[in-house]
Structure 1
Amino acid sequence: MPYDIAVVGGGPAGLSAAINARARGKSVVVVGNDYRESPLYRAERVDNYLGMPGMTGAQLLEAYRRHAESMEVDFRAGRVLNIMQLEGTCYLSIGSEMETAKAVVLATGVVRGKKLPGEVKYLGRGVSYCATCDGMLYRGKPVVVVGMAPDAPEEANFLQGIGCQVTYVSARAPEGLVPAIPYVKSGRLEIVGEDGVTALRVGDTELPAQCVFLLRSAMPPTDLLPDLALEENGYITVNRQMGTNLPGIFAAGDCTGLPLQLSKATGEGLVAGQAAAEYVDQLSNS
C-alpha cells in the first residue's frame, strides 16, 4: 500500500507538512538526510522565531523531530533521485529502492551548486547519482566519486567493496573513507569523454574513470520532476495552497523563494500538509 503523502526533505517545512498531514489522519513518510546535517542545526542562536527566542538551531530541530515522531510520521534516510507520476500514484526513487504516495510535498530547501561541465551530456553514459544503483556495472573499472553529501564516503566504500577502482574527490578530506581509496582535493571539475565518460578533469589533472558518481545532498527540483514550473529566479512556482503546476505535487519552505526564514518555512509546511491531505481526500472520493 502506498503512503498517502511523501515529504521530500526533513527540515522545518517538511516536518511541519508531515505533522499537519498526520493530524488529518494521513499516512506520511519523510525522506531526507540526517537533520543534523542541516545548516539550521549549526545555528548558535535563533532570535526571530515567534515566542521562542534564544534557542539554538539544534534545539529547534530536535523538538521538531520529536514532535513528528510522536505523531507517528515514518522516516526514510536517503536522496530522492526522481519522481514519476502514473495514474494517481507518485513513485519516488530513493537510491535503488522505491516508495509510493498519492501526493508529494517538496521541501528540499535551496539546492546549491551548478551542474558540472559534461554532466548533462554524459548522464546515463558514465554519470550517475547513485552508487548502489549503478555500481555493479563498473566492477573492476576505474570510477570517481565526487563527494558533496555526508554519506558520500560510505557510498565510495561500498563501490570499493564490490570491486570498483575508486578515487574520491571532494573539497575537504573525508571522514570514514577506507585507506585504500585515494583522495584528491577538488578544484575546477569537468567530466570528459567520447561516446561515454573517460575521465574527470580536476584542474589540470585528468582522473581516468568510466563512471563519475556525483553524490549531492539533494537533487534540484526539476531533476526530480522535469515538468515542474519554476520562477525566473529558479524557485518553485506555487499558488496560495502551495500547489505546483503538477497535480498532487506541493512545495514549501526555502525552495519556494524568499524570505529564507524559519517562520515562513513552518507556515508554508502547514499549508502544504493540509492541502496535500485535501488532495488525497479528493482522490479517495472521486
Structure 2
Amino acid sequence: MAKEYDVIIIGAGPAGMTTALYASRANLSVLMLDRGIYGGQMNNTAEIENYTGFKSVLGPDLAKDMYDSSVQFGAEYAYGSVQSIEDQGDLKVVKTDTDEFTTKSIVIGTGSEYKKLGVSGEDTYSGRGVSYCAVCDGAFFKGLHLVVVGGGDSAIEEGIYLTQLASKVTVIHRRGELRAQKITQERAFANPKMEFVWDSNVTEIVGDDQKVTGVKVNNNKTGEDSFIEASGVFIYVGNHAMTDNLHNLPILDENGWIPTDDHMRTKVPGIFAVGDVRQKDLRQIATAVGEGGIAGQQVFSYIQDLKAKATVK
C-alpha cells in the first residue's frame, strides 16, 4: 500500500524547501516533488547579492545549502512531473508521470517562467548581460548603459528602478505608445535618464566572448535596422505561472496565478500556495522563504484540525 503523507510540496525552490523545513520540523511526514533539481531559478543565477546574511552567494551554492537544511528533519525528495491533483476532501491524490501519491495537504510552489524574446543571443548571454529581473541584477551594471525591452508596467517600473544605477536606460517597445499605467508613464517620461525607441523589435542580442555589447533593432514601420550599444538587456515581455496541470482545481485566477490569503491558503481547504506561483507583486528569494515558513506552520495547524475532527467522529 502506497505511503500517505501529511503534506506533499510541489516544487523545490526556496519557498518549497522552506515549507519542507518547517513542516518536517513539526514532525509531519513530508514529500517534496520537483521535475528537476532542487533550487529552481537559483540554479540559473550566478551571484545573489540581495538575500539577507550573504554579501554575495552563488545561486547553486545557496540552493544546495537550502536543500540540506530542508531535509535534515526527515523530509523526502523525489523527482516527478505532476500531471494532476485530485481533491477528495480530507485526502488529495497527486499523480506524476511515474507515480501516484496520497496526502492530507498540498503546498504548490511550482514558480513562474519569464517569457523570452526568442532571438539570437538571448540564451547565449543569459546571466552575462541578459536579465529578467532588475532587482536581482541591476547592481551589476552601475554607471552603464542598459536596454529594457517591453512597454507594460513591469518594463517601465523596472526601467525606472534601473535609472538609479545605470548611466542611461533605453526602452525599446514594439508599439508607438506604452501599455503601462499613466502615472508610471509620466514618471518615466519625466526621468532624464530614460529614452524610448518606438515601433521597434529587438532582432538579436550581440556580445563578445564574455558579455553583451548591444542589440540589433528593426523598426517595424519603416523596416530600418539599427544597432544600440549597451552593457545589459533587461527583458519584460511577460511571465506566466507554472500551473498548466492545475486547471481542474478552482484555485487559479484568469491569468493562471494562484490567489491566497495571508496564511497561504487557496480556495480549496488543504491546498496552499507559496513563492512565485502566487498572485503577488514581488517575486524574490526573501519573500519566497517567508511564505514557506508561513505555509509550513499553517499546514501543521491544518493537520491538527483534521486529527481533531477525526477524533470527534
What is the TM-score with the length of structure 2 in the denominator? Answer: 0.55
Match of 1:235 in 2: 257
The structure with the largest alpha-carbon Rg is 2
Given the superposition, is the C-alpha separation of residues 244 and 36 from structure 1 closer, same or farther in structure 2, using an over 3 Å criterion?
closer
In structure 2, the gaps of 5 or more residues are 116-239
* Alignment check: 8 A CA contact 1:17 1:269 kept: yes
Establish whether residue 271 from structure 1 lines up as the match of residue 294 from structure 2.
Answer: yes
Using structure 1 for the length normalisation, give the TM-score.
Answer: 0.60
Q: How does 1:15-54 map to 2 (within 5 A)?
A: 15-35=17-37, 38-54=40-56
**1:110-259 correspondence to structure 2 within 5 Å:** 110-111=112-113, 220-221=242-243, 223-256=245-278, 257-259=280-282
Task: Show the counterpart of 2:10.
Answer: 8
Instruction: Give the AA of the match of 2:82.
Output: V
What secondary structure is seen at the aligned counterpart in 1 of 2:93? Answer: strand
| Alpha-carbon separation, structure 2, partners of 1:36 and 1:245 | 27
Map Cα deviations across residues 65-106 of structure 1 (whole Å, 9 max, x no partner). Answer: 111221211011011110001141110001132011100000
SS at match of 2:56: coil
Give % identity. Answer: 27
Q: Which runs of 5+ in 1 are unaligned?
A: 114-217
- Change in Cα spacing, 1:49 to 1:85, as seen in structure 2 (3 Å) is same
CA separation of 1:54 and 1:37: change in aligned 2, threshold 3 A: closer
How big is the shift at 1:111? 4.8
Q: 1:219 to 1:100 in 2, by over 3 A?
A: farther
Cα deviation for residue 39 of structure 1 reads 2.6
Q: Which residue of 2 aligns with 1:109?
A: 111
Count of aligned pairs: 183
**Quick one: distance in 2 between partners of 1:105 and 1:225?**
16
For residue 262 of structure 1, what is the aligned residue in structure 2? 285
